[in-house]
C-alpha cells in the first residue's frame, strides 16, 4: 500500500524502538523519512538500511523509476530527493531543532508529517527524585515536543497541510508510581495537542496524540521478568504491545484517512486503561 505516497515525515527518536518501527512502516507506505535521534550509529544504520531497501523496491517495479511526484520540491531535481536521511538532533535544544527542520526542507523539499516520538525516563519516587531527574525528562519529553512543533509548524502552514502526532502515554492519563516527571510531561503533551488542534485546524493541519501502554521496547529490557509478567497480566490483552502496533497507530493518524480526526489521544494499550 502507499498510504503516505509523496509525503515527507520527520520521526524524532527514530533510531530505535517505536520510532524505528514507525520509520520502517512509513517508508513501506511510500513516505520519505527524516530520522531525528541523538544516536548517530543507530540512526545512520537505519537510514542506510531503509534507503537501500526502498531504492531496490522501486527499481524492481516495472515502469517505475522511484521518482518523486510531489510538486513542492522547491525547484530541485526530483531524482535527488532521498528515501531516508538521518539527522543528529537533541530535541531539547531549540537551535538544533530549527537547523534540522531547515535541513529537511532543503533535502526533501517539504515537511508533511511530524512524529514527536522522542522520550526518556528517569524514574524515582517523589521523595527521592532529584531536580536533575525532573528537569532532564521535562527538557526532552515536553519542551522537546514544543521545540519540534514550533520549528516545523511554519513549513506546514506555508502549504496548508500537516499532521502533528505526539507520543503521550497511559501514564499521562492515569499516573504511575515513581513517575512524577514522566507523567507530568505526557499529560502536558496531551494538553498541547488539544491547543494545536484548535490553532492549526483551519489551516489543514491536524494535531493528535497516542497513549501507548506497556510496549516491548529496549527500555523494557532492564525490567525484571516478574514485573514484566505483572504488566502482561494487568492488560486484558494478556501481553505487552509491540512497537509495530504503535507504528500502525501513528500511520493511521498520519494518513488522509484520519483527515477529520483532530485533537484526540488514542490509547494503544491492549485495554489496560479499561
The answer to whether 113 and 207 are in contact (CB under 8 A) is no
Among residues 83, 87, 155, 182, the one annotated as catalytic is 182
- Per the structure block, which three cell numbers stand in for 92? 531539547
Integer Cα distance of 100 and 88 in angstroms: 8
Q: Collapsing DSSP states into helix, strand and coil, what is residue 72?
A: coil
The answer to whether 29 and 257 are in contact (CB under 8 A) is no
SS3 labels along 127-186: CCCCHHHHHHHHHHHHHHHHHHHHHHHHHHHHHCCEEEEEECCHHHHHCCCCEHHHHHHH
The answer to whether 14 and 36 are in contact (CB under 8 A) is yes
Integer Cα distance of 153 and 111 in angstroms: 9
Q: Verify whether residue 182 is a known catalytic residue.
A: yes
Query: Which one-letter DSSP state was computed for residue 257?
Result: G
Spatial neighbors of 201 by CB under 8 A, at least 6 apart, are: 207, 262, 263
Catalytically annotated residues: 182
Amino acid at each position: 500500500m502507499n498510504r503516505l505516497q509523496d509525503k515527507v515525515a520527520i520521526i524524532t527518536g527514530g533510531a530505535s524502538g517505536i520510532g524505528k518501527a514507525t520509520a520502517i512502516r512509513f517508508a513501506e507506505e511510500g513516505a520519505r523519512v527524516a530520522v531525528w535521534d541523538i544516536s548517530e550509529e543507530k540512526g545512520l544504520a537505519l537510514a542506510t538500511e531503509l534507503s537501500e531497501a526502498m531504492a531496490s523496491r522501486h527499481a524492481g517495479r516495472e515502469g517505475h523509476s522511484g521518482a518523486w511526484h510531489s510538486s513542492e520540491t522547491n525547484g530541485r531535481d526530483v531524482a535527488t530527493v532521498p528515501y531516508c536521511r538521518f539527522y543528529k538532533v537533541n530535541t531539547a535544544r531549540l537551535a538544533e531543532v530549527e537547523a534540522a527542520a531547515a535541513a529537511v526542507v532543503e533535502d526533501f523539499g517539504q515537511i508533511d508529517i511530524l512524529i514527536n516520538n522522542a522520550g526518556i525516563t528517569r524514574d524515582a519516587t517523589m521523595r527521592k527524585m532529584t531536580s536533575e531527574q525532573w528537569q532532564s525528562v521535562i527538557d526532552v519529553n515536553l519542551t522537546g515536543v514544543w521545540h519540534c512543533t514550533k520549528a516545523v509548524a511554519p513549513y506546514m502552514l506555508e502549504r496548508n497541510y500537516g499532521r502533528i502526532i505526539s507520543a503521550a502515554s497511559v501514564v499521562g492519563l492515569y499516573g504511575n508510581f515513581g513517575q512524577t516527571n514522566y507523567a507530568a510531561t505526557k499529560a502536558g503533551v496531551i494538553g498541547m495537542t488539544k491547543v494545536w488542534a484548535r490553532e492549526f485546524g483551519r489551516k489543514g493541519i491536524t494535531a493528535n496524540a497516542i497513549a501507548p501502554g506497556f510496549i516491548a521496547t529496549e527500555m523494557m529490557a532492564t525490567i525484571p521478568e516478574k514485573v514484566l509478567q505483572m504488566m502482561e497480566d494487568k492488560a486484558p490483552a494478556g501481553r505487552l504491545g509491540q512497537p509495530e502496533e504503535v507504528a500502525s497507530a501513528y500511520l493511521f493518524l498520519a494518513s488522509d484517512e484520519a483527515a477529520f480526526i483532530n485533537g484526540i489521544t488514542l490509547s494503544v494499550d491492549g485495554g489496560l486503561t479499561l
